[in-house]
A and B are shown apart, each in its own frame.
Chain A
């Protein structure tokens, strides 16, 4: 299948979604969709010569013939099926999307304290000026062909609004479930998060697939609008199956004296790309982007973080750690851009990779672009395997080399997970890595 065919599929899909929404959406949003649809057809699909996609070959994705139907509800899922993925603790409110569409049936108890949550569809129907403005802000980043597609479809997603001064609100957990369908399917969630002055929000978004390794495509776009003196904690966990293509792009705009603390965990998926674009628009804000990516088999994980310092006295931190096994590939691109006026910027960037196989491959590019002089910027990258001395230390105590490597890998990943600011999620991730790196050997050693 050629890439032009790939676009053709979505041409049909766009037509269909136009019909579905005919006349029901506000004019400016309809216009926004049209412009993005045009953009989608104008833009080239990324290829090897596209600088930011150089090492991420998406031909397996563009060669897949996706269903031209809009994905529909799968009523075969029962609340029990997904209960393991939800956070049952009373502090959480769970919103569930099945194949890209909000499921009111599965989203049990959506009443939550302090935050207004709704699905994008409802939000569009009841749209007011502010909502439209936020949608239209999604213009930026449309040089990405997949973002343009997402904007053009504006299918569904979550809309979260945290009013001025809200503190101790419920933690919002949004779960995107995909299920096996007859043909390879695609979902295009579009999330908008709006945090007003002095408000605080903790948001967890997780992606899971229920079923076998059928190919499916998640094309996610998440926009954060963070006002002044606000605080946002965001955790994203991707545990797709091995047929999953996941392209995720987050755009974050941060006001004055606010903080944005994000963690991205990629645990599986065939091709996963996480793009995070942060703009520090006003003084004294901090942004920290942490992540852990684990890849095995022939998986490819690509993390692209870009932070643009547009105002003085902001701090930023990028810290990503990766473990690569088998024939997997890890790609990292970090970009810190300090504009001329952004004096007193303090920025650090670090990417550590553990290569556990001779056929795995790491490509890392921690970049700095600095146009201001009174700044402190550092970056670093490492690639290696657990040092022999450490393995020997374990062996001299009667622990097999496999277990030793497992413990060391667990320790490496654990360091990243310690950065997760939400304890319930941290605990779950920790359990996962323990099982993944030590599950096989633990029983034996005891």
Chain B
């Protein structure tokens, strides 16, 4: 008996030791926290109609777009900031933000790299996104957005041969006004919500993409967002249109410097899939998340929505949310066409004082529509993570199907994991299933690994990667590797 007691005591102390070692692992710095010293062309802080006119003028926009912005702004004035999300933050002073910041030295001709400021090229190279011809990533076309403007878009020529339009939003407004006019705000109208209205009023740049009928995009398209300027919000707008039978994979990445004040990022992404089209949209969000005392970090208030307009179309959202002080994001699908498919795969990590309220909306309108939701949330230290999702089956959506799974992993006893599903069914032939679970990484699991010579750091990474596997499978290879590395870095030192 005494032996047994000794043994359990021994195991206990071993477990304790392993957790302690884990706790002692120092936090690695946020890798992308530096600032690029470039001369900035900014507008004064504050928001009013003049600022909007100024932004519009700087971008040489047609009058219909300015009118649209102003309408959005006037509507925004009538709205109140949503407070229903399970996050807390001090009130945001919208007049203290700068709504436009751009590097001064910019090429006059879009697409010509010779004129791009060397500092900017260096910035993106440092971020792992080389833009120069000879160093470019071979299989991916990149649109690099720096604060409020797009600095370069690679591989445009190859894409153009297939009839694919991939350029910055500002360029699209000039070159393809009809397409922009037709689809802008068609999925996320400016009346949609507070942040969408704000974005519609002040949006600066973003990516525009059009894949013509029957074309399968020969390479992955990607946008890289970088916030650099201080006191500046980023309000980009992305619009992707896949015409009948087209296919595209789209990737999005983002980083920002370390600063003690919070910066606002309110983006809008609209996806349109016509008959038989397929859009895969993947995000690895790594905005600066603030320090362990909750100082600084990005407020990420994003509206993302896709519409499966045509029959048999397919939209898939995959997101890995590791950054931001606050994440408020619900990428959704409106399944309008019959037999259309919507998917949502998400890994959301909140550690330190991060708060995430994220999930999806699947609105089934057409017959035989299907949706799948896989959400994995990880909370560590003092992070709080909520899944909030809506599945709505409308009366005409016969034989629709939804499957939802949301799992939470808790690491440490100061974090929180919450689930708020909303399920609305108005059609009897449809089937909806929802399941969720919450569990933790136990000392026993870590001890089990340690016995087999796997260090605590690797053990956590093993458990977490296993937990997220179903989501990572849906990411392109490079992104999956990057995402899993990101999780490991963010979770270092979180047990104990």
Which A positions have Cβ atoms within 8 angstroms of B?
Answer: 51, 340, 343, 353, 355-385
Contact = CB atoms under 8 A, between A and B. Distances in A.
B426 A378 contact: no
Contact of A365 (B395, B423, B431, B432): B423
Nearest to A366: B421
A343 B412 CA distance: 12
B437 A361 contact: no
B475 to A, nearest CB: 27
Contacts of A362: 423-426
Nearest to B402: A383
Interface in B416-443: 416-440, 442
B416 A369 contact: yes
Nearest to B432: A383
Contacts of B410: 370, 372-373, 375
9 contacts: A357-B428, A365-B423, A367-B420, A368-B418, A368-B436, A381-B432, A382-B433, A383-B393, A383-B432
A377 B423 CA distance: 19
A365 B420 contact: yes
A373 B381 CA distance: 11
Nearest to A382: B433
Nearest to B411: A373
Given A361-B426, A362-B425, A381-B433, A374 B438 contact: no
Contact of A370 (B408, B421, B422, B434): B408
A405 B353 CA distance: 52
Interface in B256-308: none
Contacts of B418: 367-370
Contacts of A365: 420-423
Which of A361, A381, A383 has the most chain B CB atoms inside 10 A of its CB? Answer: A383
Given A368-B436, A374-B413, A384-B432, A355 B425 contact: yes
Contacts, number: 110
A340 B413 contact: yes
A345 to B, nearest CB: 10
B436 A356 contact: no
A380 B424 contact: no
B447 to A, nearest CB: 15
A330 B428 CA distance: 13
A375 B425 contact: no
Q: What 6 A-B pairs are tightest by C-beta distance, nearest first?
A: A373-B410, A355-B428, A377-B438, A384-B431, A383-B425, A381-B434
Interface string B74-95: 0000000000100000000000
Contacts of B395: 358-359
A363 B421 CA distance: 10
B430 A51 contact: no
A29 B393 CA distance: 49
Given A379-B419, A379-B435, A372 B413 contact: yes
A412 B53 CA distance: 63
A356 B429 CA distance: 9
Contacts of B417: 368, 370
Interface string B366-410: 000000000000000000000000000101000000000000101
Given A343-B413, A381-B421, 7 more contacts: A364-B423, A368-B418, A368-B419, A380-B433, A380-B434, A380-B436, A382-B432
B91 to A, nearest CB: 21
B415 to A, nearest CB: 7
A372 B379 CA distance: 11
A329 B422 CA distance: 15
B423 A360 contact: no
A248 B440 CA distance: 37
Nearest to A380: B435
B84 A51 contact: yes
Contacts of A343: 413
Contacts of B84: 51
Contact of A385 (B393, B408, B428, B440): B428
Given A368-B418, A373-B415, A378 B430 contact: no
Contact of A384 (B430, B437, B440): B430
A383 B438 CA distance: 22
Interface in B430-461: 430-440, 442
Nearest to A385: B428
A378 B405 CA distance: 11
A366 B416 contact: no
Contacts of B423: 362-365, 381, 383
A392 to B, nearest CB: 15
Contacts of A372: 410, 413
A378 B416 CA distance: 15
B420 A363 contact: no
Contact of A373 (B412, B429, B431): B412
A380 B412 CA distance: 25
A336 to B, nearest CB: 9
Contacts of A359: 395
A382 B421 CA distance: 12
Given A363-B422, A364-B423, A366-B421, A375 B438 contact: yes
Given A371-B416, A373-B410, A384-B430, A378 B425 contact: no
B95 to A, nearest CB: 28
B353 to A, nearest CB: 15
A380 B433 CA distance: 7
Given A366-B421, A367-B418, A360 B432 contact: no
A378 B436 contact: yes
